[in-house]
Amino acid sequence: MLIDIFHDFACPWCYIGKKHLFDAIAQLQESQSQESQFQDLDIRIKWHPFLLDNSIPAEGYEFRSFMQARKGITAPALEQVFAYTRKAGEVAGVKLDFERISLAVNTTLAHQLITLTPEKVKNTLVSAIYQAYFEDNLNIGNLDTLIAISNFTGMNTAKLRSFLNSPAVLNTVVAESTFARLNGVTSVPFFVFNNKVRVNGSQSVEVFEQAITHAARSKTSVDRRW
C-alpha cells in the first residue's frame, strides 16, 4: 500500500499526525494474521513537501513574534495555542517543547535532504528532523545542522552538501509544494492512501486504521474523505 504524506517540518500537527499514522500501521500489522486481506501488508511511505513559508531567511526569525504576527493574536492567546497543541502531542506520545524553540525556520532545505535520502532510512530521518526542531531547538534550516542530523544515514557528507547547494534540488522541492497546492492540498498534514482515500489533518489512530482498511479493501479508485 502506498501512503502519500504531505507535510512540513515546522508544523506540530504534522508531527502528531505522523505519530498517529505510524501507530495505526503498527497496530494493523500486529493484527494482520487475523484478517487475510492484511497478510503481508506492505506499507510504502512517500513524503511530499508542503512549504508553509519558504520566505523565511536561513538564519530564521524570532519564534514567538513570528507566530504572533502570522496568526494575528496576542502573546497570551499564542500561549493558549501552544498549551492546547502541547497537550495533544502528549496524548499522542509526541514531545512539543515550545518553550525551547527560539526560531521560526525555513524548512526548504530539510525537505531537500529528504528528497536525497535513501528510502530505507527516509522515515527515520523524517522523525529525527521533527525531533531536532520540536524537542532540541535546532535550526533545521541550517545546512551544517542538517548534515549533522543525517550523519547516521551513511550518506557521503561532501556529496550531500554539494547536492543540498544545488538549485535543481531546491527547484524540485518548491515545484512539488506548488503542485500540491494546485491539486487541492490546502493544509497539512494531508494523507492519501493508495490513491483512493484521503485524510486531512492529524486525526486519531482509529481514523487512520479505518482509512488503511478501506483503501486495502477497495477494488476500485474512490475518493473517501475524513
What confidence score (pLDDT) does residue 171 get? 97
The sheet with strand 44-49 has its strands ordered as: 44-49, 2-7, 190-193, 197-200, 224-225
Number of independent structural domains in the chain: 1
Beta-strand runs (E) in 114-182? none
Compute the mean pLDDT over every residue in the chain, rounded to the nearest whole number. 93
Q: What is the CATH number of the domain that holds 119?
A: 3.40.30.10
Higher pLDDT, 95 or 32: 95
Give residue-wise pLDDT tens across range 115-133.
999 999 999 999 999 999 9
> Looking at residues 13-28, what average pLDDT do you find?
96
What confidence score (pLDDT) does residue 57 get? 95
Say how many Å lie between the first and final Cα of the chain, rounded: 19
Cα dihedral 49→50→53→54 (10° resolution): 30
What confidence score (pLDDT) does residue 212 get? 95
Side-chain-facing half-sphere of 158: CA atoms under 13 Å = 0
Domain that holds residue 140: 2-225
What confidence score (pLDDT) does residue 114 get? 98
Say yes or no to pLDDT of 225 above 80. Answer: no
Pair 197, 211: CB distance under 8 Å: yes
What confidence score (pLDDT) does residue 39 get? 54
Buried b (16+ CB within 10 A) or exposed e, 131-156: ebbbeeebbbbbbebbbebbeebebe
Pair 130, 101: CB distance under 8 Å: no
What confidence score (pLDDT) does residue 219 get? 59
Say yes or no to pLDDT of 162 above 70. Answer: yes
Pair 141, 109: CB distance under 8 Å: yes
Q: The pTM is what?
A: 0.93
Give residue-wise pLDDT tens across range 30-80.
876 555 555 557 899 999 999 999 999 999 999 999 999 999 999 999 999
